[in-house]
Amino acid sequence: MSADPIHTLADLDTWSFAGTALAVLGHPIKHSVSPPMHNAALAEMAKRDARFASWKYFRFDIAPDDLPVALEKLHARNFHGINLTVPHKIIAFDRVAVVDPAARPIGAVNTLRRTPAGWHGYNTDGYGLATAIHETLDRQLTGAHILLLGAGGAARGAAVECLQRGCASLTIVNRTQANLDALLAQLAPLAGASLITGTTFAPNPPAGALIINATSAGLKPTDPLPVDLAALQRPAAVFDMIYNPPETPLLAQARSLGIPSANGLGMLVHQGARALEIWSDAAVPVDAMRTAVHSAMKAHA
Ligand code: NDP
């Protein structure tokens, strides 16, 4: 049996793990590197604090229709923490007992912590994004002119984070007008001092902008560029949320133009580290998580 078997809803009826259980729920879940990432962190944490020796992170393939019953069963089985990935982040938002105030404008949760009364929902994706951009590109969202590509779930979280951190301006470009309009309407109350604009055409952000790709264009080698960097005034840096493949066509173009760039691996690691902090109330070994992700991705390649 694999070290990280894929569990199903039915397994919860006979669940017998005696330690502190954590889990990621997704559909599909086969490619998630969260179990090795979190279990590596827990092994490291157990060296300093024996209570973590009995913690374990599992993965479950749960169809969207089954999510409400899965959350009930996981609560009844005393699971301590849950991560949610595609397509569950938005569905779960209305299914938790309490939503962290910072997650409310996003309308999606990716981290749940058990309370006796039900699940407390958080969203750690924005923290992961901001921390990774600072770590890999030495850039802050605060005060930045940002060109955000995409208007899906990841873009919504990124946009809220940019606005909450006080970006100077936010330009959103998206292929489908209706999805762009819906996102702009949701963001309007949060704009504060930041200027928000949206377009489905070639964007024109100021020179020195930070570009964030939150589209799925780049997952396949044949995907079109989500924006042509050569047609823009020179950006300061490009962050692509995609981490597999490690270099998308957008990142390859940034490299060929000499523009600093980074993929989404740091975001994955830091959103996970923040989730583990929420569950454990302890310091989390980020380097062990990063090393585990690199190994897991090599094994998947
Ligand atoms: P959604 O399906 O919600 O949104 C997809 C977005 O991509 C939409 O804006 C869509 O535009 C756009 N898009 C899709 N294909 C193309 C294309 N060929 N050309 C231009 N635009 C396109 O996905 P998510 O928001 O959940 O995820 C987006 C990306 O972010 C994924 O690649 C995901 O892996 C990554 N991600 C990474 C994370 C990390 O930790 N590093 C965390 C979360 C997400 P339209 O509205 O026109 O359909």
> pTM, whole model, 2 decimals?
0.95
Task: Work out the average pLDDT over 179-190.
Answer: 93
- Domain CATH for 197: 3.40.50.720
Report which protein residue has its CA nearest ligand 1's atom 31: 216
**Residue % of the chain over a pLDDT of 90:** 89
- Same domain assignment for residues 130 and 221: yes
Give pLDDT, residue 2.
52
- Test site for ligand 1: of 156, 216, 220, 268, most ligand atoms within 8 A of the Cβ: 216
For 73-121, the pLDDT digits (tens) are 999 999 999 999 989 999 999 999 999 999 999 999 999 999 999 999 9
Ligand 1 pocket at CB < 6 A: 86, 125, 128, 150-155, 174-176, 179, 214-217, 219, 223-224, 226, 241-243, 264, 267-268, 271
Up-side HSE of residue 63: CA atoms within 13 Å toward CB?
Answer: 3
Residue 190 falls inside a structural domain = yes
Confidence grade of residue 172 (pLDDT, cut at 50, 70, 90): very high
Residue 1 falls inside a structural domain = no
Question: What ligand 1 atom has the least distance to the C-alpha of 263?
Answer: 41
Domain tally for the chain?
2
- Same domain assignment for residues 292 and 258: no
Give pLDDT, residue 298.
85
Question: What ligand 1 atom has the least distance to the C-alpha of 128?
Answer: 40
Report whether pLDDT(131) > 70. yes
Q: What is the mean pLDDT of the chain?
A: 95
- Same domain assignment for residues 231 and 137: yes
Catalytic residues, by residue number, are: 89
Asked if residue 40 lies in contact with residue 77, where contact means CB atoms within 8 angstroms, the answer is: no
- Whole-number Cα distances in Å, 200 to 47, 241, 243: 51, 20, 25
Full domain range(s) for residue 105: 6-123+266-300
- Same domain assignment for residues 156 and 244: yes
Give pLDDT, residue 53.
98
Residue 138 falls inside a structural domain = yes
How much distance in Å is there from the Cα of 123 to the middle of ligand 1? Answer: 17
Task: Work out the average pLDDT over 169-194.
Answer: 92
Question: What DSSP letter does each residue of 5-40 carry, written as one string?
Answer: PEE-GGGGGG----SEEEEEEESS-TT--HHHHHHH
Q: Which has the higher per-residue pLDDT, 300 or 82?
A: 82
- Same domain assignment for residues 23 and 108: yes
How much distance in Å is there from the Cα of 47 to the middle of ligand 1? Answer: 38
- Whole-number Cα distances in Å, 20 to 52, 78, 280: 8, 8, 11
Task: Work out the average pLDDT over 178-198.
Answer: 91
- Domain CATH for 48: 3.40.50.10860
Give pLDDT, residue 193.
80
Report whether pLDDT(1) > 50. no
If residue 210 lies in a helix (H) or strand (E), which one and from where to where? strand 210-213
Task: Work out the average pLDDT over 176-202.
Answer: 90
For 258-268, the pLDDT digits (tens) are 999 999 999 99
Residue 249 falls inside a structural domain = yes
- Same domain assignment for residues 138 and 253: yes
